[in-house]
Amino acid sequence: MTQTLSAPKLSVAAPGLLTVSIMIATVMQVLDTTIANVALPHMAASLNATQEEITWVLTSYIVASAIATPLTGFAADRLGRRRVFTTSIAGFVATSVLCGIASSLPEMVIFRILQGVFGAALIPLAQSVLLDINPREKIGQAMAIYGAGIMVGPIVGPTLGGYLTEVFNWRYVFFINLPVGLLAFLGVAAFMPAEDTKQRRFDMMGFAMLALAVGSLQLMLDRGQSAGWFASVEIWLYLGLTISGLWAFVIHCWGAREPFVELAMFRDRNFVMGLVFIFIIGMTLFSGLALLPPLLQKLMGYPVISTGLVMAPRGVGTMVSMILVGRLVARFDPRGLVLFGLICTAWSLHMMTGFESGMDSTPIIVSGVLQGFGLGFVFVPLSTLTFATLANRFRGDATAMFSLVRNVGSGVGISMVTVVLAHMSTVNHEEIASTLTAQSGAVQHLMPQLIAGSQTYAAIVDGLVSQQAAMVAYIDNFFLMMILTVATIPIVLLLRRPG
């Protein structure tokens, strides 16, 4: 018997073609968060920038995107989603080309800021449109398609970026957005209908305070390691601005007649729990992506291309789970699927705590596939549960907030694992070195040159100790991420199943 589907909020003539166009734009934007990472050394040489200066190519994009993301709901209401979507794609493509032809670091940073501003609306708009053009019974499948782009994009980014940089030039990391963006623009312009706009006053005070809080937090996370964290006045300043901005934002929105963000949406328990979960997923997904490339390249000796190929199967696991969970979410309790995904993710991180510097690529691939598979089972039903009980009028702002929290989670996660890696490398080095005394049997039998005072041999041994200390530090990080994942399992009980 044919199932009767409920009417979607927005009727379109070709929902399939519109979905493809939206996802092309989504993947394009998400790819740019990681595709430039492997090209940074080549950019630094071409733009006469130091290693620390060239990181602003990443930081400027992330900060600009984070600040502009909350504007999505307001812009969509005032201008219409179709106009905002097409303008964002066009601006993103244009600024990508400008990044590709940049001749100096200041030019590159300015163009990356503009690219971040234009790209900020693409992710939340894609999610809100997919929620609106699909009947309630197919929301799970729609979120599976959306999740595939969100989660596979960052994984494929380093592989594609490494290939384009090695075979062509680092500038093609940005030029590739031209044909991709053109397809997305034509598809959205052709298949997305114009909608009625809403007269909504722009709350400058609310936006300014939220932008201050988000921008200061991103700068604190990005600058923390190099500035020495809380030993630096600069970091304390960023922390003070973050807390002050967030406090002023909440107080203002609480009493404003037309606030920038309606705080009433946070009364929905599923939405709040969904934000907690997506924050942790952002930490887990992006932390793993940040840890693996230096581990593979510096400690295991993998070249750039091989590193990307070894990490690519993680995306295969995600794609498989997306296909499965898109069908399962309508038949089973989504909370059970989230629980299963968390268990798979935690188990993959447990496998990663057994990594060794001399092992082959099999454990890396197997754990990566399992982790990608698990995260897919978390992301799709979570997206369904998060918006299941939320009023439709909040969707524009809510999807923007969802994307913002995910990005903040990734920033916090990357900063956290960087700090733990640096600290534990030092601690582990001291502990291992303390065992290499003249009375140690291993030193007496295996390293007699060390007792004899050979400087060359001492340098070799110190290098081996540093390598082992770094390997243990990576394992410490994987263990921390596993504990964090397991700790989120009880939150599943707080989610309500959609009616």
Give per-residue pLDDT as tens, 54-90: 777 777 787 788 788 888 888 888 888 889 999 999 9
Q: 467: burial class by Cβ within 10 Å (0-12, 13-18, 19+)?
A: middle
| SS3 labels along 424-465 | HHHHHHHHHHHCCCCCCHHHHHHCHHHHCCCHHHHHHHHHHH
Distance CA 401, CA 79 (A): 19
**Mean of pLDDT values over 182-188:** 92
Is the model's pLDDT at 258 over the cut of 50? yes
Give the residue with greater pLDDT, 435 vs 416. 416
Distance CA 160, CA 154 (A): 10
- Residue 496's CB is within 10 A of a number of other CB atoms, namely 13
- 280-307 pLDDT, tens digit each: 877 877 777 777 777 887 788 777 677 7
pLDDT band at residue 459 using 50, 70 and 90 as cut-offs: low
Is the model's pLDDT at 3 over the cut of 50? yes
pLDDT of residue 358: 77
Give the residue with greater pLDDT, 5 vs 36. 36
pLDDT band at residue 182 using 50, 70 and 90 as cut-offs: very high
pLDDT of residue 347: 93
**Mean of pLDDT values over 267-278:** 85
pLDDT of residue 247: 93
Backbone φ, ψ for residue 438 (5° rounding): -65, -25
pLDDT of residue 2: 47
First to last CA, the chain: 22
Is the model's pLDDT at 434 over the cut of 70? no
- 363-420 pLDDT, tens digit each: 889 998 898 888 888 877 887 788 777 887 787 778 788 888 887 887 777 777 777 7
DSSP string, 373-385: HHHHHHHHHHHHH
Distance CA 89, CA 470 (A): 42
**Mean of pLDDT values over 157-166:** 75
Is the model's pLDDT at 10 over the cut of 80? no
Is the model's pLDDT at 249 over the cut of 80? yes
pLDDT of residue 248: 92
231 dihedral zone (left: phi>0; alpha: psi -120 to 50; beta): alpha
Question: Which one-letter amino acid corresponds to residue 91?
Answer: G
Rounded to the nearest integer, the mean pLDDT of the chain is 80
pLDDT of residue 262: 82
Distance CA 109, CA 91 (A): 16
Instruction: Indicate the SS3 state at residue 79.
Output: helix
pLDDT band at residue 126 using 50, 70 and 90 as cut-offs: confident
Q: What angle do CA 12, 498, 483 make, to 5 degrees?
A: 110
- Residue 442's CB is within 10 A of a number of other CB atoms, namely 10
Is the model's pLDDT at 1 over the cut of 50? no
Give the residue with greater pLDDT, 485 vs 425. 485
Is the model's pLDDT at 427 over the cut of 80? no
Give the residue with greater pLDDT, 50 vs 215. 215
Give the residue with greater pLDDT, 490 vs 425. 490
pLDDT of residue 95: 94
Q: 317: burial class by Cβ within 10 Å (0-12, 13-18, 19+)?
A: buried
Backbone φ, ψ for residue 281 (5° rounding): -65, -40
pLDDT of residue 432: 66
Sequence-ordered alpha helix ranges (H) in 329-361: 334-352
- Residue 227's CB is within 10 A of a number of other CB atoms, namely 16
115 dihedral zone (left: phi>0; alpha: psi -120 to 50; beta): alpha
Using CA atoms, how far residue 438 sits from 126, 212, 249, 476, in Å, is 64, 56, 61, 29
Q: What percent of the chain has pLDDT over 70?
A: 88
Task: Give the orientation angle of helix 395-434 with respect to helix 269-294, to 10 degrees.
Answer: 40
Which residues touch 332 (CB under 8 Å, ≥6 apart)? Answer: none
Distance CA 372, CA 151 (A): 8
Poorest-confidence range of 92-96, 136-140, 476-480? Answer: 136-140
Helix (H) or strand (E) holding 6: none
Q: Nearest to residue 25, comparing CAs of 73, 92, 94?
A: 92
Q: What percent of the chain has pLDDT over 90?
A: 11
Q: What angle do CA 140, 142, 148 make, to 5 degrees?
A: 100
pLDDT band at residue 186 using 50, 70 and 90 as cut-offs: very high
Distance CA 40, CA 46 (A): 10
**Mean of pLDDT values over 183-190:** 91
Helices first, then strands: H and E counts in the chain: 21, 0
**Mean of pLDDT values over 453-466:** 61
Asked if residue 430 lies in contact with residue 490, where contact means CB atoms within 8 angstroms, the answer is: no
pLDDT band at residue 484 using 50, 70 and 90 as cut-offs: confident
Is the model's pLDDT at 441 over the cut of 70? no
| Entry pTM | 0.75
Tokens of residue 47, six digits:
């733009």
CA 272 to chain centre: 19
Helix (H) or strand (E) holding 103: none
Tokens of residue 93, six digits:
């493509």
pLDDT of residue 462: 61
Asked if residue 125 lies in contact with residue 88, where contact means CB atoms within 8 angstroms, the answer is: yes
